[in-house]
Structure 1
Amino acid sequence: MIEFLSASEMPNWITLILGANLIGLLTWLWRKRKVSHITGLEVSLNESTMQINSEESHAVVFEFANRTDKRVIVLHPIVKNRTELFPISKRTSEDIAQRTSELKFLDQCGGYSQHVVTIDTGQNAHTALPLKEIPPELISRISKRPSILFSRKYFTLEYEVLYGKRWYKVSTNY
């Protein structure tokens, strides 16, 4: 049997087939990975208030600013992995099984109803999340703290982006 395998170069074919499958798997995993940001797509947090059912509430506003040279489509932003330092309002919609809060973008009527937004170069899109209270250091600390080097302190913001012809899954710790 060993003579047959050596003569027919079967080990070489097996290595070639397994190698091709492994390269394909690694390429697929690389394309599905999450990135922490997209260069030119800036996400800033601001303190604000908003009304839910005619009741005033504290809120954190997420502003997506497109500083790229292409149109950007942002889909399904969610806040997940919240800590106790980031207390959301009881009136906020939340998936209690996964402790996630879905964010919706501001529409033309002034309500938060859009799951998808297209942002042209130089334009902004807004979404907000009602909170019980805003910790005093939250906004200033988040804006000064690079999220790439540090682990999550308050929450993780995840969303999908179509930039050019490529899809990206973005996951940023705050």
Structure 2
Amino acid sequence: MKVRALLSFASILAVAACDVAFGPSYRDDTVQIASAAAFDPSRYVGRWYEVARYPNPFQSDCPGAIAEYGLSETPGVLTVTNLCLDASGQEIDRIIGTATDEGLGRLSVRLQGVPVAAPYWVLWVDEGYRTAVVGAPNGRVGWILNRDPEIPPDRLAAAREVLDFNGYDLGQLQRSVTP
């Protein structure tokens, strides 16, 4: 596997799940984090564009990303393909894996070549499953995802409010390159 594949969108999750020192936490850990209790994994299936994220070393060579989720033959498990995009929005690498539904908007993501699974918490998804906010309890990662490369201002504002409610520092959030 290429080294750059580990730089793609969700590979950070596997390392961030470990309790070892790994970059900063962008979340105030005195604030309780809440995942989306009414989350429906089957509605999450499809393509998601990364609109914004918190900086992390594993995405330093990926100015943008796309995540694609699919149904697997195993109940409660989604397939995952993460695409790393260059500054012009072109795919430069990918990594695949699985996401196991643990209930209440909490997935456990396992990617090829990454030795541990990582928590992937869907903190919020709008009613139409068009925009989602994803994070991890340790606050070292966080993303705003959208079904289209461009996100409407009202849903971006709602996504930012969800991050703020969950203790994330909005001043550290960065816009991503979208195709």
With structure 1 as the length reference, what TM-score do the two structures score? 0.27
Larger RCO, structure (CA 8 Å, separation 6 or more): 2
- Structure with greater Cα Rg: 1
- Structure richer in strand, relative to its length: 1
With structure 2 as the length reference, what TM-score do the two structures score? 0.26
